Amino acid sequence: MKQNLNFQDADAFYEHLLDAHVGLSREDSELLNARLILLLANQIGDTGVLKACIDAARQLPR
């Protein structure tokens, strides 16, 4: 699992992600997030890497 910043343009990604949620209800926003997670997981494809990402995300402070 990569832990160093690996974005070509992290700010542009974050802005695009926020823009994707504009005008959506909370439910639709949650569905967008779920679909996005599944699409990105499919791109990664490696179950071990995906598990490591889930475990790391659970450990991050709120």
Give 8-61 pLDDT, tens digit per residue: 999 999 999 999 999 999 999 999 999 999 999 999 999 999 999 999 999 967
pLDDT for res 34: 97
Contact 5, 60 (CB under 8 A): no
Look at 45 and 4; give whichever has higher pLDDT: 45
pLDDT of residue 3: 84
The answer for 8, left when phi > 0, alpha when psi is -120 to 50, beta otherwise, is alpha
Please state the domain extents for the chain.
27-62
The pLDDT of residue 50: 96
Cα separation of 29 and 32, whole Å? 5
Distance CA 37, CA 43 (A): 10
Q: What is the pTM of this model?
A: 0.81
Confidence grade of residue 2 (pLDDT, cut at 50, 70, 90): confident
Report yes or no: 38 and 32 within 8 Å, Cβ to Cβ. no
